[in-house]
Chains A and B, each alone.
Chain A
Amino acid sequence: MTRRAVRAWVWLHRWSSLICTLFALLLCLTGLPLIFKDELGPDLQLAATTAPPGRASVDSMVARALAARPGEVVPYLFYDRDHPILKVPTAASMTADPATFHYQVFDTRTGQQIAIPQPNEGFLYVMTRLHLDLFGGVPGTLFLGCMGLLLVLAIVSGVVLYGPFTRRLAFGVIRTDGSRWRSWLDLHNLLGIVTLAWFGVVSFTGVINTLAAPIELAWQANQLVEMAAQAKPAEIEGQRASTDAVLRDVRAAVPGMNVMTVAFPGTPFATPSHIAIFLTGNTPITSRILKPALADASTGQVVSVRDMPWYATALFMSQPLHFGDYGGLPLKIIWALFDVATIVVLLSGLYLWWAKRPRRGDAESAGSAAS
């Protein structure tokens, strides 16, 4: 590589990382507790029972949730991938901001209500919002996505520079017989190149995750409209299908899959006259990919079932690779250690720039020393 090319890459590496370092540090620090959000979350204290999951009536849970919150509506139902529980949010309207939802949680085996703190408050919630959108909603998320793109650029330029900067060194050597700056450079290069694949994957999948809102919009505008158009809604005045019946029909229509989310008519994920049901499979990969089904809100008849488009599948696949929640506790610990290593990469990079940055004072002091 020519001297000129190296200087250009150094410039790119310096500025792409300097601009995003503060946010990258914030993401690494807030991401650390989020790796363990299941372990740090509330204890569900599930009762011991032999009843199978999904046995209790969902309609009854919804009715009780509504009775406890007069004047509110239930826009969605959320099942849990790992526990036999149903989260029933209530809100002022079907299109209310999810941040305003009030959650009530039920055991799907016994139908008993479980007392747990609201998921949208407390330490983990603050960490989640700082990591997800800086409390700025979709613009905040997209901003962090831009910072993530800069980070990817910094990683790529860092790999390019690893060649010329370590050409005369054996792999992994940290020289300690010279300046402190050189030792930190060696550590920065070592940690950077070794965590490269992990950091690259987590940064890139993080960027994809920030596109969730546009991806949802695209799905609603194209696929949801097409699915709803497959059958004319019955729209029988005053008749609402029972949720239990709809769930039974959907499970029969899509065997071998689990219901993860139900969106009621009037929410952005359903239509005014359809209920949308989102299912997942049982393997590590298929348990992440949602498959939507649409049922008529009046008759409960399943109208349409189809796979998500490729861009939504890309979003679903990027989630486990960003969260590290698919290989048990040891994988989470590994994730945390990589995270700490990347924090050191970011801090050492900042130090390397700070210690070598051109200072106006240097020229002045050199001038005064000469006189």
Chain B
Amino acid sequence: MSAFRRQWLWPVALAASTVFGLLTALIGEGGLWWLLCWVALATPLVTIALCVVRRRPSSGL
């Protein structure tokens, strides 16, 4: 995988997930569509939480 691809794969995937989530509940009606929306939009938030938890614990941040 090229350096450019490696660098942008996650940002693009998370942005796509966000946009998908934003549109899903708007276009679909309730039920499964809402669930898809919540999961798609929670993905970036969970990613943030994982990255913050996984940071090396030696500093004061």
Contacts and interface: CB of A to CB of B under 8 A. Distances in A.
A172 B47 contact: yes
A172 B57 CA distance: 15
B48 A194 contact: yes
Contact of A197 (B7, B19, B51, B52): B19
Interface of B: 3, 6-11, 14-16, 18-19, 22, 25-29, 34, 37-38, 41-42, 44-45, 47-48, 50-52, 54-61
B23 to A, nearest CB: 9
A190 B48 contact: yes
Given A197-B19, A331-B34, A338-B41, 18 more contacts: A167-B7, A172-B47, A172-B51, A173-B55, A183-B59, A184-B61, A187-B61, A193-B11, A197-B22, A197-B44, A198-B18, A198-B22, A201-B22, A284-B25, A326-B25, A327-B37, A331-B25, A341-B48
Interface string A273-303: 0000000000111000000000000000000
Contacts, number: 108
- Size bracket of the A interface: 35 or more
B59 A176 contact: yes
Interface in A189-239: 190-191, 193-198, 201
A189 B54 CA distance: 16
B33 to A, nearest CB: 8
Most B-side CB within 10 Å, residue of A173, A194, A196, A201: A194
Contact of A337 (B3, B27, B34, B45): B45
A192 to B, nearest CB: 10
